[in-house]
């Protein structure tokens, strides 16, 4: 099968023919239709987040079930599915108490070693050289996932564009529903409105937010935010975005989401929070990036900083997919560009140049 392989950090992706993987007990083989282009993959490509190489990246996919491993009865072969970037083991302490977004074996085995839970990757070059898997290694024609990370896609949803549900939408849902607990009538601010940020806007609207302010750079991104539900937009390159947001919201947002992962945007987002509000940090930063926080303001003004990584996969994905089916959230509207698998390197280059409005996908057909 074809796959976009990262030879080593700092090198571009290259299209290779590798072995078709096979699912083991408790796993599902998926014929990949599309894979989302996420900034976290770009961090790995640039060496800003450590990960073994050579590797196959790509961690949000849609496709059809090609084969079921031993002990797996559903979804049926041929079913349309989405796969989540967090691969819950289902057995560790975090998974047993419903916090599979904190699954220990996933972080230890997959994010640090590029394998599944038995310590082995399912991917290899034709000569047998192992290839590390970032989540399921979705930038390929086939991918193996634990059955805990595979969910049937409602018939109402397009197959390829729904690839972004498994990371962008799931991450946004966790941030809005759990980390911020957005309530009806609240003021929401979203700093950086890419794939995840654009879905935070949609989910905040579905939760009943009265005001949604989008902060980004460039007319195209801000126009896109307005189309997806923002009530106000702020161009961060035109004046002081903090001052502008505080004015628009009469003192700051009840919930402010930082979705880029830089020191500058982190501190800006924190300064945009009203007294008693919360700042939700969603964006992944390069390793070692820190942001100095003014302790006294945090204490005196009862401001909360909450980190949010994904959502509770097994309990939240069915709810999220229900919102999609009801038309309350439309991830497909966040997809603005498509690249074939042989142009995967170009997709991430465009992402690095900030040319992607919303989310791009890589298709395998």
Does the pLDDT of residue 287 top 90, yes or no?
no
Closest CA to 164 of 84, 282, 220: 84
pLDDT of residue 310: 86
pLDDT bin (cut points 50, 70, 90) of residue 285 is confident
Lowest mean pLDDT among 170-179, 185-194, 223-232, 335-344: 223-232
In the CATH scheme, what is the homologous superfamily, with its name and number, of domain 2-167+311-363? Medium-chain alcohol dehydrogenases, catalytic domain (3.90.180.10)
The percentage of the chain sitting over the pLDDT mark of 70, rounded to a whole number, equals 100
Does the pLDDT of residue 288 top 90, yes or no?
no
pLDDT of residue 229: 87
Pairing state between β 273-281 and 253-258: parallel
pLDDT of residue 173: 96
pLDDT of residue 73: 92
CATH number of the domain located at residue range(s) 170-307 in this protein? 3.40.50.720
**Torsions phi, psi for 309 (to 5 deg):** -125, 100
Mean pLDDT of 43-71: 96
Does the pLDDT of residue 128 top 90, yes or no?
yes
Mean pLDDT of 288-313: 92
Q: What is the pLDDT of residues 190-215, one digit of tens each?
A: 999 988 999 999 999 999 999 999 99
User: Which contacts (CB < 8 Å, 24+ apart) does range 312-315 have?
Assistant: 312/98, 312/99, 312/100, 312/101, 312/174, 312/178, 313/84, 313/86, 313/88, 313/100, 313/101, 313/148, 313/149, 313/170, 314/88, 314/90, 314/100, 314/148, 315/98
The residue ranges of every structural domain in the chain are 2-167+311-363, 170-307
Mean pLDDT of 259-277: 95
pLDDT of residue 365: 83
Computed over every residue of the chain, the mean pLDDT equals 95
The percentage of the chain sitting over the pLDDT mark of 90, rounded to a whole number, equals 91
pLDDT of residue 195: 86
Mean pLDDT of 255-273: 96
């Amino acid at each position: 099968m074809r796959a976009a392989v990262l030879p080593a950090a700092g090198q571009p992706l290259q299209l290779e023919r590798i072995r078709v993987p096979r699912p083991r007990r408790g796993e599902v083989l998926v014929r990949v239709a599309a894979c989302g282009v996420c900034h976290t993959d770009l961090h790995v490509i640039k060496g800003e987040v450590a990960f073994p190489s050579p590797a196959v990246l790509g961690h949000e996919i849609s496709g059809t079930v090609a084969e079921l491993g031993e002990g797996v009865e559903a979804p049926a072969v041929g079913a349309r599915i989405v796969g989540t970037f967090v691969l819950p083991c289902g057995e560790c302490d975090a998974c047993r108490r419903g916090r599979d977004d904190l699954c220990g074996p996933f972080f230890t085995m997959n994010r640090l070693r590029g394998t599944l839970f038995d310590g082995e990757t399912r991917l290899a070059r034709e000569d047998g050289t192992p290839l590390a898997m970032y989540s399921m290694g979705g930038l390929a024609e086939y991918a193996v996932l634990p059955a805990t990370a595979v969910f049937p896609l409602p018939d109402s949803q397009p197959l390829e564009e729904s690839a972004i549900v498994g990371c962008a939408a799931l991450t946004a849902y966790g941030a809005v529903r759990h980390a911020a607990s957005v309530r009806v009538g609240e003021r929401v601010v979203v700093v950086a409105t890419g794939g995840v940020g654009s879905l935070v806007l949609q989910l905040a609207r579905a939760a009943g937010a009265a005001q949604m302010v989008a902060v980004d750079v460039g007319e195209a991104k801000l126009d896109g935010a307005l189309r997806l539900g923002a009530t106000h937009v702020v161009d961060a390159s035109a004046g002081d975005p903090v001052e502008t947001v505080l004015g628009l919201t009469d003192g700051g947002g009840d919930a402010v989401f930082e979705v880029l992962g830089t020191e500058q945007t982190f501190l800006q987002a924190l300064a945009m929070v009203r007294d008693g509000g919360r700042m939700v940090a969603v964006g992944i930063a390069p390793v070692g990036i820190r942001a100095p926080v003014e302790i006294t303001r945090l204490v005196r003004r009862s401001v909360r900083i909450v980190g949010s990584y994904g959502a509770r996969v097994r309990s939240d994905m069915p709810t999220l997919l229900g919102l999609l089916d009801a038309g309350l959230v439309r991830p497909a509207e966040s997809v603005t560009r498509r690249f074939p698998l042989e142009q995967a390197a170009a997709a991430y280059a465009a992402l690095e140049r900030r040319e992607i409005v919303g989310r791009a996908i890589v298709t395998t057909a």
